[in-house]
Structure 1
Amino acid sequence: MIVTVTPNPSLDRTYEIPALERGAVVRAAGDRVDPGGKGVNVSRAVAAAGHRTVAVLPLGGPVGALLAELLAAHGIEVEGVPVAGPTRANMSLVEPDGTLTKVNAPGPELTPAESEALLEAVRARSVGADWIACCGSLPRGLPPEWYAELVARTHRAGARIALDTSGPSLLAALREGPDVVKPNAEELAEAVGRPLATVGDAVKAAEELRTMGAGAVLASLGADGQLLVDATGTYYASAEVATVRSNVGAGDASLAGFLTAGGTGEAALASAVAHGAATVQLPGSVMPTPADLDPAAVITTLDVPNDRPLKEPVWTGASPASKGAA
């Protein structure tokens, strides 16, 4: 059983459009509404794979009520923490070549009492959980150290925790030793404060996150595949994808695949890549079922291609730590 924590959930409306033209009336070829937020997506992928999952999240207003209904329809147990502010609604515009434009609302501002209620809900639901997956940005009102406190409380409760966040929140949480962190290439570059031009650069950045406290680093490199760096070594995996329809939620599905396969080792990495590859071939933020997966297409190896240039080299500027943001 996997418990997910989404401090800033959303209702996500996705439009498939022929092209994005500023100032023009754009007619959508299709649209859909899904429960959103990174942790919510992980729960949706876990449920689609046939596993039990509980989504812990703050809920407020009519949008929050609709979000809870949609999650229940997906077979997800909902542990909603009532908050005064309304849950946010986001919009995604997807073009035929897979280009994604997102407009994310800020979401509610949580009070100290609501923050504590959310932490307590996670503690209560962590009993018997195989993993706690904490994902996404923090809403207004929660300091960067909030995830660090959640990691510390989860470990005191005897549970394992996977963290998918970035910036000051990631750096603060590393000091508490999360069992797994799942950055993408941009988040890796931001965390270490230097560019990533090759797969080897990403490996070194992941190793540095381990020295900062992470037990394991599951790094998504987009079209260049994924890395797993842990105490046993470094693993690399990739899968060819014929057509990218939408990359919304692909990283979240990857984390779900990793955790449902045990959350450690080469087999879990292969599952992560299979889930991510399946997701980008589905519309909107649809999560893959076992029938959508193609495990045979995934190639895993300990022979990491360190010299291979990244198809999308990354530089995001100085790390938050260098600015004193952590």
Structure 2
Amino acid sequence: MIVTLTPNPSLDRTVEVPALVRGAVLRARGGRVDPGGKGVNVSRALAAHGRATRAVVPVGGAEGAQLAALLAPLGIEVHAVPVTGAVRANVAVVEPDGTTTKLNELGPCLSGDEVEALLAAAVASADGASWLAACGSLPPGAPVDLYARLAEAAHSAATRLVVDSSGPALLAALEAGPDLVKPNREELAEAVGRPLGTLGDVVEAAAELVARGAGAVLASLGADGAVLVGPDGATYGESRVDRPVSTVGAGDAMLAGFLAAEAGAPAATALASALAWGAAATCLPGSRMPAPHDLRPDAVRLHERIDPARPLEEQPR
């Protein structure tokens, strides 16, 4: 069982347009609404592969009811924590070449009691689980050390914790020693306070996070692949996609692929799984999560040696 906590879930509306033109009236070519939030997406990807997963989410307002209704038929156990505020609604505008512009709402402000209820639900749900994945931004009202407190509770229960977040929440979590963190390039650069232009820069930055408390770092680099850095060294791989459709949720699918393969598998095997799942997500519309038939493991390439001078092709946002 893999449990996910999404403190700030969302309804994700994806709108496909011929081109994004500022100030214009655009006629959409297509659209969809999916249950969203990083942890929710991880659970959706795991469920699509028949893996047991439980999603812990705050639920409030009509949007919260719709979120729960969308999750119900997906094979995900949902632990809903009632909150007063309404779940946020996000909009992603996708152009034909896969360029995605996102508009994310802040989310509801949680009271102190609601934060404690959410934390207690996550700890109780993770009892006996192989992983607890704490994912995404913190909603207004949540303390910056929420993931750090979760790490301490998870370790007391012998459950491994992965944190996929950014900014102060990620930095605070490092002090509690999460077993894995999964920043993207921009989040990793923010954590170490400098730009990352090469693979060597990424490896050095990830090693800093390991030195600051993380058990391992899975750094997603978009079209440049991903780097896994742990006590035993660094592994790099990539999976090229010729025609990306949408990048929304690709990093979440990557994390799901890693967690699905990680148990007892070598680091390289887990990284290859992560790359295949993440690449498959970019070939699907909106924030759809890949199923087994969407994967192309033959497109994954793991490198025996990392060239530290290799520049990162994808420009940071």
Residue 269 of structure 1 corresponds to which residue in structure 2?
Answer: 271
Residue 173 of structure 2 corresponds to which residue in structure 1?
Answer: 173
Residue 216 of structure 1 corresponds to which residue in structure 2?
Answer: 216
**In terms of mean alpha carbon deviation, does 302-311 or 173-182 score higher?**
302-311
State the shift of 1:313 in Å.
4.9
State the shift of 1:49 in Å.
1.0
State the shift of 1:302 in Å.
3.6
Describe how 1:199-214 pairs up with structure 2 within 5 A: 199-214=199-214
Separation of aligned partners in 2, 1:207 and 1:152: 22
Residue 162 of structure 2 corresponds to which residue in structure 1?
Answer: 162
The count of residues paired between Structure 1 and Structure 2 equals 315
Q: Structure 1 residue runs of 4+, over 3 Å off?
A: none
Separation of aligned partners in 2, 1:24 and 1:242: 30
Task: Report the AA paired with residue 27 of structure 1.
Answer: R
Question: What SS does the aligned partner of 1:33 have?
Answer: strand
State the shift of 1:276 in Å.
0.7
Residue 115 of structure 2 corresponds to which residue in structure 1?
Answer: 115
- Superposition TM-score, scaled by structure 1 size: 0.95
State the shift of 1:298 in Å.
0.6
Residue 30 of structure 2 corresponds to which residue in structure 1?
Answer: 30
Residue 300 of structure 1 corresponds to which residue in structure 2?
Answer: 302
Describe how 1:69-80 pairs up with structure 2 within 5 A: 69-80=69-80
Is the 1:234–1:302 contact (alpha carbons within 8 Å) kept by the matching residues of 2? Answer: no
Separation of aligned partners in 1, 2:104 and 2:222: 21
Separation of aligned partners in 2, 1:313 and 1:125: 39
- Long gaps (5+) in structure 2: none
Residue 324 of structure 1 corresponds to which residue in structure 2?
Answer: none
Residue 291 of structure 1 corresponds to which residue in structure 2?
Answer: 293
Task: Report the AA paired with residue 4 of structure 1.
Answer: T
Please list the CA deviations of residues 244-284 of structure 1 after superposition, one character each: whole Å capped at 9, or x if unmatched. 10000000000000000016611000000000110101100
Instruction: Please say if 1:191 is aligned against 2:195.
Output: no
State the shift of 1:301 in Å.
2.6
Residue 48 of structure 1 corresponds to which residue in structure 2?
Answer: 48
Please list the CA deviations of residues 58-77 of structure 1 after superposition, one character each: whole Å capped at 9, or x if unmatched. 00011101100111111111
Task: Report the AA paired with residue 130 of structure 1.
Answer: S
Question: What SS does the aligned partner of 1:303 have?
Answer: coil
Question: What SS does the aligned partner of 1:73 have?
Answer: helix
The sequence identity of aligned pairs, in percent, is 61
Residue 311 of structure 1 corresponds to which residue in structure 2?
Answer: 313
* C-alpha RMSD of the superposition: 1.1
Question: What SS does the aligned partner of 1:257 have?
Answer: helix
Is the 1:98–1:246 contact (alpha carbons within 8 Å) kept by the matching residues of 2? Answer: yes
